[in-house]
Amino acid sequence: MAWVVLHDRGAGVTELSLQYFRRNVHRLGRVFEVNIDRDRAFSMEIRGTRGVMLLSGCNCGYGGEGPHGSVEVLRLLGVEGVENDVFHNRHVKLDLRNRRV
């Protein structure tokens, strides 16, 4: 199977990014890394064994809708307890290689 680069339409709308994630996460294979950076247009990057997904409506660094979307994506990936990091940091990097997700 070919390695894929997936991205939402870049509108920055959290609900659209969540819908896109739910529809396409299976195409990534095993997810091993997540980067969130509030200073990028596609602020959430999810790396898997078969590709990468870029989301524009999930970000970090404050307590608003975008960071809550990031927490939801992480919850769907099986990652819990990172709310404080997501809400209080401009950049979050999660290495999931040693986590069971």
Q: Which of 101, 80, 94 is nearest to 35 (CA)?
A: 94
Q: Is residue 15 a contact partner of residue 70, using CB atoms and an 8 Å limit? A: no
Supply the pLDDT for residue 99.
72
pLDDT tens-place string over residues 16-68: 999 999 999 999 999 999 999 999 999 999 999 999 999 999 999 999 999 99
Mean pLDDT of 91-96: 97
Strands (E), the chain: 4-7, 31-37, 44-48, 51-55, 91-95
